[in-house]
Chains A and B, each alone.
Chain A
């Protein structure tokens, strides 16, 4: 059954208004637009037929929307089923993700450290690259260390910081 011009304009505006309140992808938006329009038109058509009219009017569509619980009612019916449920992630997978994060962080910090040493070394009086670990200890987030010292002493110095 055809709609009046007023009913068609109201239907377009109403569906746009309902969808504007929900973040959706293009494909989902297109699908739900069809579903909302189809439902409201079918419900309006039933009212129009019962009233003995030959066209769906804006009042038919407004009554259909009200019966469906308004904007929120229709959003619950059509949009919520698309929401993905929150999944429980097991400890093993979380641990794996943490290990990957640590690895990536290590790579990034090593790169940043190397870049800082490379860039700052000429500014520090042309010191040899062999001594940068002594002179640039302040750029090392894990603290001072001097590989020339005995390992135990390095550990004590690191522990003091």
Chain B
């Protein structure tokens, strides 16, 4: 019973880390080239070997928020007649600046945690 609570706590913590890192992951992927929503979800899963398996419920709200804040733009594009069009996202100059700041913060944070854990 106690073990179940511990596992639930770890799951919650992992979910929060994933949610927090989704913004950076999305910005990184659209900074490389323009991509559509599902492609971003797949790329995050593939490039992290499934360690950062984010859900649609995290990625699409992040895309909406980033677009509303002017960090990315989107374009609907018909890929093939008779199938639904796809919304491609591309990073803006402001988005690149924001991404650089997030990367710097992330590295500082990850480094700090790594140094902290070395004391174990």
- A residues with CB within 8 A of B: 1-3, 11, 34-35, 37-39, 41-43, 46, 68-69, 73-74, 76-78, 80-82
Contact = CB atoms under 8 A, between A and B. Distances in A.
Contacts of B64: 81-82
6 contacts: A11-B84, A35-B37, A35-B60, A42-B37, A46-B38, A81-B65
A23 to B, nearest CB: 18
A41 B83 contact: yes
Nearest to A15: B84
Contacts of B61: 77, 80-81
B82 to A, nearest CB: 6
Interface residues of B, number: 21
Interface of B: 36-39, 42, 55-57, 59-61, 64-65, 76, 80, 82-87
A68 B56 CA distance: 6
A34 B79 CA distance: 13
A38 B37 contact: yes
B16 to A, nearest CB: 17
For the complex of A and B, 6 pairs with smallest distance between CB atoms? A42-B38, A37-B84, A77-B56, A81-B64, A77-B60, A81-B61
